[in-house]
Structure 1
Amino acid sequence: MNKSPSAQVLQEAAEWLVRLEGEVGAAERNAFRDWLDADPEHLQAIERLQGSMAALRDLPGEPARAVLDSLARRRAARQPIKALALAALLLLPIGLALQQFPPSYLLADIRTGSGQWSTRQLPDGSRISLDGSTAVDLQFDGQRRTVRLVQGEIRLDVAKDATRPLLVLTEHGSVRALGTRFVVEQLPDSSWVAMIESTTEVDSAGKRVVVQAGQAVRFDAAGPGALQSIDAAGIEQAWEQHQLLVRDQPLDQVLERLARNHRGYLMYDPKDLELLRVTAVLPADDSQRALRLLARSLPIRIEHYPPLITRVSLERP
């Protein structure tokens, strides 16, 4: 059984369908042919989107009608980007749902939806807070205390237990704590831990580093990076006020974090935006306002395709 195209490939396919709409030169056609030949997944994505666009015209209910109405208005106004191929992503309800909320999320012991924050007590008396679109699995017994971060970001206030250290597992390593308060976030390419109180030990790719209060470290498949100084009180306050505290972070990672609490599909090309660096305090519970704030200081364009798509792209000179 063939694997469904990834979100990145679907996005590239949608962009190609937009570029190929209208008059196209030989160079553009050859480039498209090369892209198709580069990976069988590319053809699957094109066929998936083309089938979805056909289904759009026959879909009777909302939000499909709203999408079509919006596209008609945009075409009448001769908008420079034709949104049909992009809006086709809306018509992959199963594919997009599984990309944003995979089975591991749906089957998790604790999870939150987009724009939803939650705090609860764990079996050992520890307290865990979950950001939006976050999920964890728990394993607590007489020998161990384990929290597996499936996706998203958590804040932990760990109850002391001299015989059972609490382990937070991510795709990129583990965080070991006895009694402390810290934040752990998992992004596609790396994980991040920020210490608010006490210390933890991060183990990644066979390398270990101790993280003290007021420090943070990012870790990935290569192991932990360099320790960084942080404003621990500021991070705690940001959690309480549903803010996103960003310090010299690539824009694509900032958008990945904002997407957890974004209503709809936030579309962007990570490679286009990764060189833009961001230092800011953004409202995590109002992603549209956060995007407007980013657009004031960065060369980016924000486009809306109601009801569910927002596209962020690099402003070309």
Structure 2
Amino acid sequence: MSAQNSSYQHKLKQAADWCALLHSDAPTDEDIQAHHQWLNLHPDNQKAYDELTALWGEFNTPDTGLNGRVLNNVLDNKPPKRHGAAKAFLSIALFSGFGLLLNHLGFSGITADHYTLKGQTQTITLQDGSVITLNAQTQIDVEFNDQNRLIRLHQGEVHIDATTNPSWPLVVQTQDTSATALGTSFSVKARGQDTYVVVTESKVKLCYLPQNNCVTGKQGEAMEVEDRYLTGPYPTNPSIRLAWLNHRLVANDISLTVLLESLEAHYPGILMYQSTELSHIRVSGVYPTDNIELAMKMLASDPTIKHQSVANHLHFISLK
């Protein structure tokens, strides 16, 4: 990051603090005077404050999940001694795209044995020689015992190249499923209570544990447990489903909202958009997950989509 961008991001954070204070219904005359003095210190201060104020107005809707009335109620319902904490919450909300900062960065679950945050992937080699690649925002625990090699997937997606040992199976366990390697290469994705498996080599057995129901898929097939229902195996294209291994995301006539939700996990910055406004827009293409600027340019080539960015960190997507 250039020094210029870093300096401007610092001014954006200061502007977020001022927005938080001045929207709190409790600014004093001294606060207002200090705010004017800060604006006059540097032209970028006014620019940053204007941008944050405009965003406040643009995203002050129920669809963002955090509107001005709710934020002001947070401040109003706290005793005076807690005003600073509420102001800090509002400032974080402004600068973090109206989301909780820890969730935005993907810090939930960092007590796991291995984890990745937003915008990260990681490849690890286990003691048996098996290789696991973690997609963004993924958490796993690893437990080797006499019965099996157990990978607990709490969240996210992994691709595994497993060493073959029929007497010591490798099992990936999610909340309600287990995927047992009957060969060497496969992926498992956990999203809430749902589990998705793609077999890239040999075979994998997927079991839905509450019903003790299992199916086996082979190379080029997928299986899933979605809404408590086990389906598959069915043919799939692993190179498309696992394009994230090559820092790509393949969209084939999907909702723009779904695409943005997928891109968010791969980008450490902030994407801001209104889901209901964009959900009816359909998109197709191969989008880079390691170059958000290029991905946004590709989206903005659609004549109906508008993209704006602030300091290459905040990205706003809306309809023209």
How big is the shift at 1:142?
1.5
1:187-206 matches, cutoff 5 A: 187-188=191-192, 190-204=194-208, 206=211
- 1:70 maps to a residue whose letter is A
Are positions 1:211 and 2:217 aligned together?
yes
Residues 252 and 162 from structure 1, CA distance in 2 versus in 1: closer, same or farther, beyond 3 angstroms? same
CA distance 1:163–1:249, shift in 2 (3 Å): farther
Give the whole-Å Cα distance in 2 for the aligned partners of 1:298 and 1:218. 36
Paired residue type of 2:214: R
Corresponding residue to 2:290 among 285, 299, 304? 285
RMSD, matched Cα: 4.1
Counterpart residue type for residue 256 of structure 1: E
Are residues 258 and 73 of structure 1, via their aligned partners in 2, closer, same or farther at CA, if it must alter by over 3 Å? closer
1:175 Cα offset (Å): 1.8
Alpha-carbon separation, structure 2, partners of 1:189 and 1:66: 46
Contact 1:67–1:87 at 8 Å: present in 2 too?
no
Q: What is the match of residue 128 of structure 1? A: 132
- Say if 2:266 is the partner of 1:261: yes
Compared with structure 1, are the counterparts of its residues 88 and 174 closer, same or farther at alpha carbon in structure 2 (3 Å cutoff)? same
Listed as ranges, the gaps of 5+ residues in structure 1 are: 1-48
Correspondent of 1:95 among 91, 94, 100: 100
Checking the alignment, whether the CA contact within 8 Å between 1:159 and 1:178 is kept in structure 2 is no
Residues 125-160 of structure 1, C-alpha deviation per residue, up to 9 Å, x if partnerless? 211012233221111121121212232222110111
Q: Distance in 2 between matches of 1:168 and 1:246?
A: 27
Q: Any idea what the Cα deviations from partners look like across 1:279-311, whole Å, max 9, x if unmatched?
A: 432111112322332343484433435564323
Counterpart pick for 1:70 among 35, 48, 70: 48
Residue 178 of structure 2 is aligned to residue 174 of structure 1: yes
Residue 81 in 1 paired to residue 81 in 2? Answer: no
Partner of 2:8: none
Q: Is 2:246 aligned against 1:241?
A: yes
In structure 2, the partner of 1:28 is none
Deviation track 1:80-133 (CA, whole Å, cap 9, x = no partner) reads 8378969762457993214643442x1011122333322121122211012233
TM-score w.r.t. the length of structure 1 is 0.65
Residue identity matched to 2:140: V
Report which of the two structures shows the higher radius of gyration computed on alpha carbons: 2
**Residues 1:222 and 2:200 aligned together:** no
2-structure distance, mates of 1:80, 1:98: 24
Identity of aligned residues (%): 27
Q: Which amino acid aligns with 2:159?
A: R
Matched, 1:152 2:156: yes
Aligned length: 260
> Structure 2 counterpart of 1:245, which letter?
V
Amino acid at match of 2:172: V
Which region of structure 1 is more displaced relative to structure 2, 149-158 or 260-269?
Answer: 260-269
Q: Is the 8 A contact 1:52 1:88 kept in 2?
A: no
Match of 2:76 in 1: none
Q: Deviations over 1:144-202 (max 9, x none)?
A: 21212232222110111212322222345332213221122233574322211112122
The 1:82/1:111 distance shift into structure 2, 3 A limit, reads closer
For 1:294, what is the secondary structure of its paired residue?
A: helix
In structure 1, how many angstroms separate the alpha carbons of the residues matched to 2:132 and 2:111? Answer: 18
Supply the AA of the counterpart residue of 2:290. D
